[in-house]
Amino acid sequence: MSEKPTHKVHPAPVWLTTEYVQDKLRTYYKDNTLKLEKLHTKPAVANGGNYGSVMTRINVEYTTKASKGKQDTTFLVKTTFADRDPAGDVLIHYGVYTREMDIYEHILPQLSDMVRKELKDPRKLFAATMNVDRERDSIIFEDMSLDQYKVACRRKKLDLEHTHLVLEKLALFHAASSVLAERQPGIFAENYDRGFFNKHTRAYGPIMTNLLEALSRSLTSDEQLGPRYKAKIDRLVERLMDYGERSTTNNPGDFLTLAHGDLWTTNFMFQYDAKDHPTNAIFIDFQFSVWNSPAIDLHYFFSTSLQDDLRLEHQTELVQFYYYRLVEALRKFKFAGRIPSLFDFQLQFRSRGFYAIFCSLIFEPVMQYEGKEDASIEQALSSSESGMRFKNSVYEPENIKKKLSVTLPFLDQFGLLDEM
């Protein structure tokens, strides 16, 4: 049975017409004889909702002069929210649309070539780009489901086999990005410093603090967690953005790369063999990619996507697993910069630890949301009855309360809930 959507479903853009798609297909396939016979559009919404853009799947049926009979395939179209949508009003401050278009048009093709040619790894890292339209703030890319790639279950989370695969591919992505920056100085200098926490805007601040306040309200009636953590959460409400910016400020000597920035189960896909073992993982959705420490991707990934035993008991060894694969790739690329020791990298990981706060206490509960209220940025911002019901209901399910009973002590033991 498919999951019941708990978020607003956006219609396909009005400009996504037969004529428009035919023109893009002719360019992509380099065939001006291509004729689009049928076009069908439908919402393509990832599990758990899509809070940063509108996704549309298009099914196309076409003929060409050289082909025998009709051809059919599908693509995914990613577009901005419509004018006056509250989500668009927030996201525009982060440059997410222009940055992602740059990444799909210029960065990802180069990284793919580097990994394939220099590391001799033929596996895909990303979906291929079919078209980037800057006038309409849209990207069309290949539909990886055609090659049986699929998203892991956001509720079950990842086991060790899946986790190792993601970390292996993440190390390749990070290594190639660092080397690309070394070879092309300044390529990430413009518009790559606007992650969820940054010095330019705090537009996400009300969303995060509104949800953190809802967490605080849920602790009021919790006889076990309330006395221990409510006062600490209340203090974090006032200081969340300050601490977030501090934890993502790059320091001299840090190893830096292009971090994905939003690395959770909906934003990577797996391909499987006949025995249902994952054989490859690819990354999608680069709206919040940022030039920063790879540690922010690790914290985000660990906090939102791993099964609890891996996250709570095996974090240090998973960082080590990632680190060795990162170093191996950097050396194969003949990276000329300083490669940190494992000890230094573990310190860098811990110094970015506050990133786990908003991932664990705000984003992860929202990602797990299955309530009756519409789940959207608009609801997180709203003080209406519906908006308040949504935010409160995020922390009401028993599975979320059970998760908080282990997550709060885990974060607290590192001093992440205390004054910093």
What does the alpha-carbon distance between residue 413 and residue 34 come to, in Å, rounded to a whole number? Answer: 62
Smallest CA-to-CA distance from 261 within 48, 46, 7, 52 is with 52
Within a domain: 208: yes
Note the pLDDT of residue 86: 67
Within a domain: 46: no
For the segment 139-165, the average pLDDT, to the nearest whole number, is: 95
Give the pLDDT band (50/70/90) at residue 107. very high
Note the pLDDT of residue 372: 86
Note the pLDDT of residue 9: 56
C-alpha distances in angstroms, 376 versus 42, 220, 334?
A: 20, 25, 44
Give residue-wise pLDDT tens across range 9-23. Answer: 567 788 999 999 999
* Domain count along the chain: 1
For the segment 329-333, the average pLDDT, to the nearest whole number, is: 98
Note the pLDDT of residue 375: 84
Instruction: Please name the residue that has the structure tokens 């997410």.
Output: 96
Within a domain: 133: no
Note the pLDDT of residue 52: 60
Residues of the domain holding 367: 81-127+152-420
Structure tokens belonging to residue 252: 């001299």
The type of residue at 23 is D
Give residue-wise pLDDT tens across range 83-100. Answer: 556 677 888 888 888 999
Note the pLDDT of residue 5: 44
For the segment 160-165, the average pLDDT, to the nearest whole number, is: 98
* The pairing of beta strand 138-142 with beta strand 129-133: antiparallel
Give residue-wise pLDDT tens across range 120-131. Answer: 999 999 999 999
Note the pLDDT of residue 2: 36
The CATH number for 336's domain is 3.90.1200
Note the pLDDT of residue 82: 54
Given a contact cutoff of 8 angstroms between Cβ atoms, the answer to whether 57 and 44 are in contact is: yes
Of the two residues 265 and 2, the one the predictor is more confident about is 265
User: Half-sphere exposure of 76 toward its Cβ, with a 13 Å CA cutoff?
Assistant: 18
The type of residue at 12 is A
Structure tokens belonging to residue 380: 């997180």
For the segment 359-384, the average pLDDT, to the nearest whole number, is: 91
Within a domain: 348: yes
Note the pLDDT of residue 175: 98
Within a domain: 40: no
Give the pLDDT band (50/70/90) at residue 340. very high
The answer on pLDDT for 338 being more than 50 is: yes
What does the alpha-carbon distance between residue 115 and residue 58 come to, in Å, rounded to a whole number? Answer: 30
Note the pLDDT of residue 4: 44
Q: Which residue intervals of 157-294 are DSSP H helices?
A: 160-183, 205-220, 226-247
Smallest CA-to-CA distance from 392 within 384, 51, 266, 206 is with 384
Within a domain: 187: yes
Within a domain: 9: no
* Per-position DSSP letters for 98-151, written without gaps between them: HHHHHIIIIIHHHHHHHHHHHS---S--BPPEEEEETTTTEEEEE-GGGGT-BP
The predicted model scores a pTM of 0.92
Give residue-wise pLDDT tens across range 180-196. Answer: 999 999 999 988 999 99
Within a domain: 91: yes
Q: Which residue intervals of 184-340 are DSSP H helices?
A: 205-220, 226-247, 295-305, 308-313, 315-332
| pLDDT-above-70 percentage for the chain | 94
Give the pLDDT band (50/70/90) at residue 46. very low
For the segment 370-387, the average pLDDT, to the nearest whole number, is: 89
